[in-house]
A and B are shown apart, each in its own frame.
Chain A
Amino acid sequence: MNIIIVLTPMIGTIFGVMYFYSSREFTELLLAQPIRRTTIFLGQYLGVALSLTMSLVLGLGIPFLIYGIAQSSEIWNFGLLLLSGAFLTFIFVAVAANIALMHENKIKGFGYAIFIWLFMAVIYDGLFLISLVVFEDYPLDKFSLFATMFNPIDLSRILILLKLDISALLGYTGAIFQKFFGTNTGMFASIGVLLVWCGIPVFFIKRISEKKDF
């Protein structure tokens, strides 16, 4: 599970940045053609994100299908895993596209991309942990819920955790999470949040692409 939650965003970011830098010539070529700018960039974004998602779904799906997961009750949890993986890919490719569009300097761009990934995957949780420990005298469940929502990696992790038996481990805090995410409303809400997480960087791709000089 960790592999998907941690590696998918990393592959998304790194590959996304790499793609947007190395396809710059291609972009310039296309820009001189009678094509709408947004079409070019969103097309490129979707191209990368979709192919990465496909490779994730096929790469994980086929072996598991052969393994016989379709017959087992795990199929829905597995589906959720793939769904969050897909969401994470879309989110982080969009973030990567933004970084690549904002920074001409490849090294800088790569640096930021890796940092964003590192931040979301590791540092964020570190800060989260520290704030939980520091403010342990206060009621923290709302805060945890909010903090989880704010990081798509954490959100996906919790979504999957709650579907696994291990959710009982989460104890009281988990009960609140379970109450929130366990229901259909919570499920849709979190998928909604993930969609917003996709939407914001995509919107920025559109905005930046309309303003950028080549």
Chain B
Amino acid sequence: MIEITDLYKRFGKVKVLDGVSLEINGGGVFAVLGPNGSGKTTLIKSILGMVIPQAGAIHVNEQHVKGQWQYREDINYLPQIARFPENLSVKELIGMIKNLRGKKANDDALIELFGLEEFMDKKLGNLSGGTKQKVNLVLTFMFDCPLLILDEPTTGLDPVSLIHLKELIQKEKEAGKTILITTHIMDFVDSMADEIVFLLEGNIYFKGTVAELKKKSSKNELEHAIATILTEQND
């Protein structure tokens, strides 16, 4: 599905990705973890072609992504911070994206699920962070795509919406899709992720199932397991 080989990316003098190689195959939820600034978002943006790496290759569905755009047809992306053009209304935005993708979308069901009906005619600039995130989720989940990339999907969501989100992800997973998630909420990872990719200082420190990680750090709770990894690293 996704194959990354020797990916290097620097922003000025800061090395963000330092030879990352990663292969993600088959359906399931893959959690990309790591401390702040470990390169999670950069990795994701590289896959999407928003960040251009200095070296290395990324293949999505056996297709080299560099300079390409068609492959994004198969990806639904949820950006980390829901930033939208402020002068558009929710309805206009959704309509525009639908128009752009030209695909069948089940936006109505999602709007209902997140209770966004009353906001449809509001300008995006006037919405709260949580509501924007819900719009963000609608935009991401309304198309039927084999690959979903969710960058911090839980940000600003109320518990009810969080449950809805989990259900959505579960549903997509059951549909056999590949879902890439970054998050700092370990509960979320614990309950959702099939496999963990742990990034540290621009490298993949660990890749495996949650159980394997727990075993490696000999801790029962994921949170502690991660913390152990980090402290070991600092020593």
Q: State whether these chains interact.
A: yes
Q: Residues on A close to B: CB < 8 A?
A: 23-26, 28-37, 210-214
How far is B73's CA from A36's CA once the two chains are assembled, in angstroms?
Answer: 12
Q: Does B216 contact A (CB under 8 A)?
A: no
Indicate if the CB atoms of B84 and A34 lie closer than 8 Å: no
How far is B73's CA from A24's CA once the two chains are assembled, in angstroms?
Answer: 22
Indicate if the CB atoms of A213 and B45 lie closer than 8 Å: yes
Indicate if the CB atoms of B77 and A36 lie closer than 8 Å: no
Indicate if the CB atoms of A35 and B50 lie closer than 8 Å: no
Q: Residues on B close to A: CB < 8 A?
A: 11, 45, 48-52, 67, 69-73, 75, 77, 79, 83-86, 97, 100-101
Residues from chain B with a CB closer than 8 A to the CB of A24 are 83
A16 to chain B, nearest CB (A): 17
19 contacts between A and B (CB under 8 A): A25-B83, A25-B84, A25-B85, A26-B85, A29-B79, A29-B84, A29-B97, A31-B48, A31-B50, A32-B48, A32-B50, A32-B79, A33-B101, A34-B72, A35-B100, A37-B69, A211-B52, A214-B45, A214-B51
Residues from chain A with a CB closer than 8 A to the CB of B73 are 34
B78 to chain A, nearest CB (A): 9
Closest chain B residue to A33 by CB distance?
A: B100
Known: A34-B69, A35-B69, A37-B69. A28 touches B85 (CB 8 A): no
Closest chain B residue to A31 by CB distance?
A: B50
Known: A23-B85, A25-B85, A32-B77. A213 touches B72 (CB 8 A): no
Indicate if the CB atoms of A33 and B97 lie closer than 8 Å: yes
Indicate if the CB atoms of A33 and B72 lie closer than 8 Å: yes
Closest chain A residue to B73 by CB distance?
A: A34
Residues from chain B with a CB closer than 8 A to the CB of A37 are 49, 69
Closest chain B residue to A29 by CB distance?
A: B84
How far is B83's CA from A24's CA once the two chains are assembled, in angstroms?
Answer: 9
How far is B50's CA from A37's CA once the two chains are assembled, in angstroms?
Answer: 9
How far is B101's CA from A37's CA once the two chains are assembled, in angstroms?
Answer: 15
A104 to chain B, nearest CB (A): 11
Closest chain A residue to B68 by CB distance?
A: A36
Given A25-B86, A29-B79, 10 new contacts (CB under 8 A): A23-B85, A28-B79, A29-B83, A31-B48, A33-B100, A34-B73, A34-B101, A35-B72, A37-B69, A213-B50
Indicate if the CB atoms of A213 and B11 lie closer than 8 Å: yes
Residues from chain A with a CB closer than 8 A to the CB of B86 are 25
